[in-house]
Amino acid sequence: MNCAMAIQVLPMDAADDDEVCRVVDAVIDYIRTQPVSLFVGPFESTIEGDYDACMAVLKRCQEVAFENGCAKVLTYAKIECRPAHAEMLTTERKVGKYAEVNQAFEGTE
């Protein structure tokens, strides 16, 4: 089974925005090591791959947040799955055409 999953990990007991970013960055660093495609957005990250692999990543994301000092984490997931023989509507197909628009946000901090 193929899967696309949007994951938002919210460290609920973070002291400030820097702490939120530190924990979320640790989660993203973990995801980057996994055998899934990754698209990082401002509110959630999207992964694509085998359903079981994506579900394992989802579970481990929360554990990574705990290992980075969180005692309470809210995780939101949106999951699209299709049979193995069916083609996924990929993140690239959904947002790739907006790459030029999204570049406007690069380095605007």
Please, are residues 60 and 13 in contact by the beta-carbon 8 Å criterion? no
pTM: 0.89
Query: In this structure, what CATH number is given to the domain that contains residue 89?
Result: 3.30.70.930
How many domains would you assign to the chain?
1
Q: Tell me the DSSP string of 30-97.
A: HHHTSSSEEEE-SS-EEEEEEHHHHHHHHHHHHHHHHHTT-S-EEEEEEEEEE-TTSPP--HHHHHGG
DSSP 101: H
99-108: per-residue pLDDT in tens? Answer: 888 887 776 5
68-100: per-residue pLDDT in tens? Answer: 999 999 999 999 999 988 888 888 989 889 988
Domain that holds residue 97: 2-105
